[in-house]
Structure 1
């Protein structure tokens, strides 16, 4: 919030502004400690006293609040039956209260509440809060709470949520002031704290809060000032919360863009080793030796990378491309150019399985060349003597390309002359991890950085979370790849489909292909990804696989195996020693087995969109078409089922990325759902608010250039963890 969260007003503990019971309730129920925590709690919706009763069938289920007058009372169900309310097993009947807002009449059925109903007369004034319901007899206000007002508008008695509000008020005057506001924030109640009471506490805090200064030199044109937006978020004026939300979205976008603009300015001050082309060098020989022609997209991206590598400004480029689009080949050619310049390259991979595969791929490419670059792998599972020998080879320059996991960025790893850092699956690493390699250049030089991802990124997201990176995109697949079809298999509704899925695996293997069966977790007690039935864990699915695929060679791969065992089992599958590999999502990225043509994903609903897109990219990488079977127990029409059907309907990763984003909370920009206790509001929608993001990006560049000190003050709220996520995307 442009540095406001660090101001004394925002940092003030709630216990200094509210009474002890209120502050304790907010802390225990919502985790709120400070004034800033409370005021940046975004209401899911607002209730306006002027909603009125102008509703129709299209408003079915909508909650409304209105000031109304009682016109008449229906017959009391206890009339003529004095024991009605005491009789057990009776079928409850409501008493109908006819109400009007002056323009429209509605019926409000009230169950029980006999004592309060006896206080009502035609002409009684009420504040009502209920749900619109269409019935054969007309429109009703169902499940309604009501607050009885005296002749002067003073609150007298109430039911339900409004009774809790009345009880929480310090006095009648405070409640009247609250009810005089055009709209109230309707926060979700939790752990005994009703949402309407949160509105009361917000009113107390805002009445005690002095006017907050404008953090910018002047409010952005067309938007309210900061203080008005902060107050209007909770208690909007008659026009609604739109202007306040627009200003706070802008502030959130500006804060992110300022952080990225400062990083770009910092990078521009660094110097990188220029890596000019060398005639007859490794690059030319590798290009000639490749067993395939580069696609037009690969050639275009490589030209962009070459231009960066030839300059003394550090390259900071994101290479995004669909699964199987040929990113590794592009990275290998970029490495070859850097090796031609006499410098080393490092490739950082998120898992040992992927690091080992990258090392095999690069060794295979470079090994075909006379005097080709020497490739070494550095992982955390190496023995002490192996690690010592590897570190010596790296620091003395005996190796040209080092492929590793997080071990590559650990203490004690020094390079002879590092010229290029390639980070695979960018979203798995944070800025501080990436910078550990960037800071290991020689003689104060900064290595060039190329980060790669197969998780497609919509333009608005790339502009926000990768705003300090130049972006290159590989949109086409290399020739010779048949692609993959995807089908949803509802195992409970269509048991015959489930049987057919097993038969399809047998048919593919009989034709010389290989198959994956992917499970969301190792065993039922494993935290895994999301909630999934225990019988979809690897431990439970494995006997089923052995039963359904009896006679086939079954292998198992998961993250708890020793590193050497994982590599051996993956290599055995690649070599054709295993027909079906039962595994977890450890094979999500980088695994390249062209003979694999079918993948069954158990409990598919527990995986994210990008995970499923990555997983299915492991099949269909050769000349035969691939098939991905998403096995699920979800019901038709549920969000989880619709997500799976959306994935099955397209292989366009960019469309899937937008589907993924639309199904997340809008407040998840920095990686954690905002509960009010974290930094920032989380009101920015990266798709719907693309225009705001573009405006903020332009303004951020102007501010960072004209007044870097102001830019740093405005980004003071961004924590190290949020900056880390900002870089990971």
Structure 2
């Protein structure tokens, strides 16, 4: 492939419509109201353009049946299989019968997939042995075998059934669309064929510049639409996918590059600091030496803060890599320049932890007093300024939603008057009544927890665009960074400061090893007897709460980690019962003599998730933990109770802290050496990695147990295998992407809307993303307003609708 630059000339200019009028037509104008209503209800598709851009997810060839052992569990799927046998049996509990159809993939590797139809008259009549058919439904596990119940089905032409017609169909790939139980793939295909025949493509203008089309040897746009939806041979849809994949990359990268250029053109206040200010005093008093990585990143931040354009930087680093110190040094430079710094944290627990740790590390420099940094020539007229004298300290203020009214009023006054140099808070910082005297730097901790709109609210509280530093302990692969954070500069901290001990991680499968239940708590007892402390993490709080993890109500959720639709409901540790009794493994269909496992409501049809309140009660009666001091921590406790509990744990007055993921980030207790994560399969890879980072922080080796009641074949256990295999967050971030379902890279938690990616895969298509980024940079350099590339401009607007476009506003 030739180099992406120099960029060939564009073919798009003028103010013509971006496509045929039909692309904006409501679907009911072409396919009828009933079909249009079904598409809108099940897929959210309302216009011709939306339907034609709903591409097949894969293609089937008649001679290549779906491997039964590869069918994903608990997902809506469309499979092609051959009927092996059809039998009929009466139902035991009620009138009627069940038709059991066994289908095969012709490999002989497995006996086949059992499909059951209740009162299946149509299935009994049409699904004869040797028939070839498509089946659409949700595959589940029953007695360790895959089953399918009441699926929709469609007979296919077959050489044994349809002669010459089958020969014609055998040569054509069969598109398979992401479908639902009520709207199978073949019905979508028929609607698409109708629309393709009716649309006039003559006025459709190409978002890709003509030079790129020629350089890459892409098919034209109309042909691409026809080939991706109705290919005559495999090469057709492959060519069309190549074209649309690159188009997708170019549209997204152009939007990001243009956003970065717009941000760079804004005017900010340079925050150069001073040679003898708070930052210098802080560095001189540090009881440890910065790692080379911390020093290098610090130098970059210092340089970017010193110019009159806003810094927009993403700092990623492993759990415990020292990001907070790097951010604090940047805050002090801004304070030395007469400005203020705001630190936005996702939970009250983390905000309070930051408040306490920053005050502790600053020592005398954090004594209550005037705004630091009121130096000669740096804003001596600010409140509290002493004719340019260098202050001895800066005030650190905490602002959260549940603070008492008097304390909140004082914090608001300190922020607005400039008395506070560092303001730390949760979403409370975003309230309309929060004002700053001179907000110069925003630090966002755990950036994935906040929507872009929330960061913009804080950004708009500054007189000029403030500098921005967003931090994450979730390692981000390079391709994701280019795709999601392409408008931010990036720094990475890979080194861990001295004193971090290794963490050993083990998966505890209760199905295959029910006897390990007692060993979990005996192992916890060993840590307690050694003078150490233990975390126990649960996915739910209890008290009839439906929320898996409220995290103070400040957590918008992340990466599908709790209840992400992957079929986790089929397992669970039974409200903690199975973890406290070796008699139960948390499987469905437990024998009657197991009784009602503790923590489960009477009559429950399947195990519940481990709940903080229930686990606390039962661990207090666990013989292995007799005499241990056990307390609960979660977001629904009031502020004082949370603070008291956390303070007691930090002080060593609590042996076992049973918590939700409210302790996921930032909590730093050096004496904690063990973590037990119940229902660990309910959490994502990144979240598990962050959670275990809470142990092994004080030079003592850490242990993390990932407890699950899912059966070994369940796909969710692959995540636990990955986390147990390595502590390298960057390796895990790659594995995380591999395990996610298609299109989940820019999920709602990251983009602010539904998934943005259609065909582009950030791991598999790094070369495409990089090439498109070069093209995008050249396009924006030559045509910043995209006046000569109006079709590309229109594609950006259409592709990044107002909901999706939010994720670009990271500056």
- TM-score norm. by structure 2 comes to 0.73
User: Matches of 1:596 and 1:451 in 2, distance apart?
Assistant: 28
The aligned residue for residue 553 of structure 2 is none
Change (3 A) 1:184 1:65: farther
User: Matches of 1:4 and 1:196 in 2, distance apart?
Assistant: 32
Q: Contact 1:366–1:373 at 8 Å: present in 2 too? A: no
Q: Please give the residue correspondences for 1:552-701 in structure 2 after superposition, counting only pairs within 5 Å.
A: 552-672=628-748, 682-701=758-777
By how many angstroms is 1:114 displaced? 11
Mean Cα displacement is larger for which, 614-623 or 232-241? 232-241
1:309 counterpart = 2:305 = yes
Q: Contact 2:228–2:236 at 8 Å: present in 1 too? A: no
Q: Contact 1:490–1:631 at 8 Å: present in 2 too? A: yes
Q: Please give the residue correspondences for 1:528-543 in structure 2 after superposition, counting only pairs within 5 Å.
A: 528=548, 529-530=562-563, 531=569, 532=572, 533-543=607-617
Q: Contact 1:272–1:447 at 8 Å: present in 2 too? A: yes
The aligned residue for residue 281 of structure 1 is 277
Runs of 4+ deviating beyond 6 Å: 2-7, 55-66, 88-94, 111-118, 148-155
The aligned residue for residue 420 of structure 2 is 399
Change (3 A) 1:592 1:113: closer
Change (3 A) 1:255 1:669: farther
The aligned residue for residue 526 of structure 1 is 546
Mean Cα displacement is larger for which, 354-363 or 378-387? 378-387
User: Matches of 1:694 and 1:412 in 2, distance apart?
Assistant: 44
Q: Please give the residue correspondences for 1:162-311 in structure 2 after superposition, counting only pairs within 5 Å.
A: 182-187=172-177, 190-211=180-201, 212-218=204-210, 220=213, 221-238=216-233, 239-311=235-307
User: Matches of 1:385 and 1:60 in 2, distance apart?
Assistant: 61
Change (3 A) 1:510 1:727: farther
The aligned residue for residue 440 of structure 1 is 461
Residue 230 of structure 1: SS of its match in structure 2? helix
User: Matches of 2:508 and 2:70 in 1, distance apart?
Assistant: 35
By how many angstroms is 1:130 displaced? 7.3
Q: Contact 1:485–1:626 at 8 Å: present in 2 too? A: yes
By how many angstroms is 1:152 displaced? 12
In structure 2, stretches of 5+ residues that fail to align are 1-11, 72-77, 88-95, 103-120, 136-152, 368-391, 549-561, 564-568, 573-606
User: Matches of 2:50 and 2:768 in 1, distance apart?
Assistant: 24
Residue 620 of structure 2: SS of its match in structure 1? helix
The alignment of Structure 1 onto Structure 2 pairs a total of residues equal to: 648
1:724 counterpart = 2:798 = no
In structure 1, stretches of 5+ residues that fail to align are 67-76, 78-87, 95-110, 119-125, 132-142, 156-161, 163-175
User: Matches of 1:679 and 1:621 in 2, distance apart?
Assistant: 36
Change (3 A) 1:667 1:727: farther
1:21 counterpart = 2:103 = no
Q: Contact 2:294–2:493 at 8 Å: present in 1 too? A: yes
User: Matches of 2:503 and 2:804 in 1, distance apart?
Assistant: 36
- Aligned-residue Cα RMSD (Å) equals 3.8
Change (3 A) 1:359 1:7: farther
Mean Cα displacement is larger for which, 211-220 or 645-654? 211-220
**Which of 543, 547, 554 matches 2:621?**
547
Q: Please give the residue correspondences for 1:61-72 in structure 2 after superposition, counting only pairs within 5 Å.
A: none
By how many angstroms is 1:695 displaced? 1.2
User: Matches of 2:516 and 2:81 in 1, distance apart?
Assistant: 50
Q: Contact 2:747–2:756 at 8 Å: present in 1 too? A: no
Change (3 A) 1:728 1:498: farther
The aligned residue for residue 458 of structure 1 is 477
By how many angstroms is 1:728 displaced? 7.4
- TM-score norm. by structure 1 comes to 0.81
By how many angstroms is 1:352 displaced? 0.9
User: Matches of 1:180 and 1:648 in 2, distance apart?
Assistant: 45
User: Matches of 1:15 and 1:90 in 2, distance apart?
Assistant: 38
Change (3 A) 1:200 1:4: farther
By how many angstroms is 1:525 displaced? 4.6
User: Matches of 1:60 and 1:321 in 2, distance apart?
Assistant: 36
User: Matches of 1:146 and 1:389 in 2, distance apart?
Assistant: 73
